A = this chain, B = another copy of it.
Amino acid sequence: MTVSHPVAVRWSEDGPAVELLDQTRLPGKVVQLRLDSAAGVAEAIRSLRVRGAPAIGIAAAMGLAVEVAAGAGGDAAALRRRLDAGHELLRRSRPTAVNLFWALERVRLRALDALGESVAAAVSAAAAEARAIAEEDRAMCLRIGENGLSLLPEGEVRALTHCNAGALATGGIGTALAPLYLAHDAGRRVRVFADETRPVLQGSRLTAWELGRAGVDVTLLVDGAAAFLLQQRQVDLVIVGADRIAANGDVANKIGTYGLAVLARHHDIPFYVAAPASTVDLATASGSAIPIEERDAEEIRRGFGRLTAPADVAVYAPAFDVTPAALITAIITDRGVVRPPYGPGLAGFAHASPQAGEPAGVEGASDERDAQ
């Protein structure tokens, strides 16, 4: 895998620090932040400098590890206080990001365990655990890519995607974009069409940027042009990420996904969902049980820094939609490709979730709540 994709977050080579690509500055400016405290990372998460559930989890884990490292010169009691304070600070940075909670918990437990031995051991264990979380995510993306590769057409690959389920949302090459990166890396001709994805424009700001940066041929379109693109037979497949996958295969994802699935079916074009197996929430029987958040109406009335609609107009602003399993050609995960009927295949992912035991709400790579 030699894909030169951008890296959302990484452990610095020189010294305990988190290197983070400031996504609020994209696509205009590429700004690398170097953060050496839990407070700095918490601010970056709160301010959406890093977004996408997996990337947030990694950033938080590394943020706690650098906080612990800053206490290397003190005693065990001080380190314990530092660990608890950093954990609390980071935990509050995005209230709904489940990946963030479990990533923090992993680092905290490992550090506490090693603290029984020595402060130095705790510092080392925290850093090792944070890097392990990043490495696991990188490997997960790669497996999704490899599993998805077999579904791409022979020869040229022309795909339509929505939102950002790419490198910028994860610790690796993304989920929906992973097979496309691998095909490009293998020297195949890959052409990606990216919906701009109103209201928050993750497609134009992030997907178009990261693919272009990696040398993948990318073309941007407004969401309303996708139907015409499919009618003109300009793409061979549609591929998107997922926020949550119900036990029956219904998929919640960024608003606009369901419409693409209907359009793909109408034009007899495959519609794929790519996500970590941990996105499957077996506690949710079907899509109708997934609560749909509303976004802030102001994103639609004045989402571009100036008023583009009547200031007081009513707005219908669902953050996600639900695509029925019947419209999905296959679900590509790090544990394999699942095809209809989805129930039996997805049931095999029991305990795959790092959040096993959580009451509900497993999150995947392209979480709206974390997408900003």
Contact B301 A228 (CB under 8 A): no
**Dominant secondary structure of chain A at its interface with chain B:** mixed
Give the docked Cα–Cα distance between A79 and B56 (Å). 73
| Contact bitstring A297-318, B, C-beta under 8 A = 1, else 0 | 0001101111111111111111
Contact B316 A221 (CB under 8 A): yes
Q: How far is the CB of A25 from chain B (nearest CB, A)?
A: 11
Contact B266 A220 (CB under 8 A): no
Contact B198 A198 (CB under 8 A): yes
On chain B, the residues within 8 Å of A222 by CB distance are 198-199, 223, 255-256, 300, 317
At the interface, yes or no: A259 with Cβ under 8 Å from chain B?
A: yes
Tell me which residues from 171 to 226 in chain A have a Cβ below 8 Å from any Cβ of chain B.
Answer: 193, 195-199, 201, 204-205, 208-209, 212, 217-226
Contact A228 B310 (CB under 8 A): no
Known: A259-B263, A305-B305. A310 touches B198 (CB 8 A): no
Smallest Cβ-Cβ distance to A304: which chain B residue: B304
At the interface, yes or no: A227 with Cβ under 8 Å from chain B?
A: yes
At the interface, yes or no: A348 with Cβ under 8 Å from chain B?
A: no
Contact B301 A225 (CB under 8 A): no
Give the docked Cα–Cα distance between A227 and B227 (Å). 12
At the interface, yes or no: A27 with Cβ under 8 Å from chain B?
A: yes
Contact B313 A212 (CB under 8 A): yes
Contact A309 B196 (CB under 8 A): yes
Which of the residues B209, B217, B256, B310 comes within 8 Å of A212, measured between beta carbons? Answer: B310
On chain B, the residues within 8 Å of A227 by CB distance are 256, 258-259, 262, 321
Q: Can you show 20 pairs from A to B with CB atoms below 8 A apart?
A: A162-B224, A204-B309, A205-B308, A218-B314, A219-B316, A220-B300, A220-B309, A220-B314, A222-B255, A224-B259, A226-B259, A228-B255, A231-B258, A262-B262, A262-B263, A262-B266, A263-B263, A304-B306, A305-B305, A305-B306
Give the docked Cα–Cα distance between A305 and B307 (Å). 11
Contact B224 A197 (CB under 8 A): yes
Give the docked Cα–Cα distance between A231 and B205 (Å). 28
At the interface, yes or no: A360 with Cβ under 8 Å from chain B?
A: no
On chain B, the residues within 8 Å of A315 by CB distance are 219-221
On chain B, the residues within 8 Å of A15 by CB distance are none
Contact A208 B318 (CB under 8 A): no
Contact B316 A229 (CB under 8 A): yes
Contact B308 A219 (CB under 8 A): no
Known: A222-B223, A263-B262. A228 touches B318 (CB 8 A): yes
Further contacts, 11 of them, CB under 8 A, given A219-B313, A228-B318? A199-B222, A201-B309, A208-B309, A209-B310, A218-B314, A220-B313, A221-B315, A225-B256, A226-B259, A259-B263, A262-B266
Q: How far is the CB of A241 from chain B (nearest CB, A)?
A: 15
Contact B225 A316 (CB under 8 A): yes
At the interface, yes or no: A116 with Cβ under 8 Å from chain B?
A: no
At the interface, yes or no: A153 with Cβ under 8 Å from chain B?
A: no
At the interface, yes or no: A28 with Cβ under 8 Å from chain B?
A: yes
Give the docked Cα–Cα distance between A317 and B27 (Å). 20
Give the docked Cα–Cα distance between A307 and B312 (Å). 26
On chain B, the residues within 8 Å of A221 by CB distance are 300, 315-317
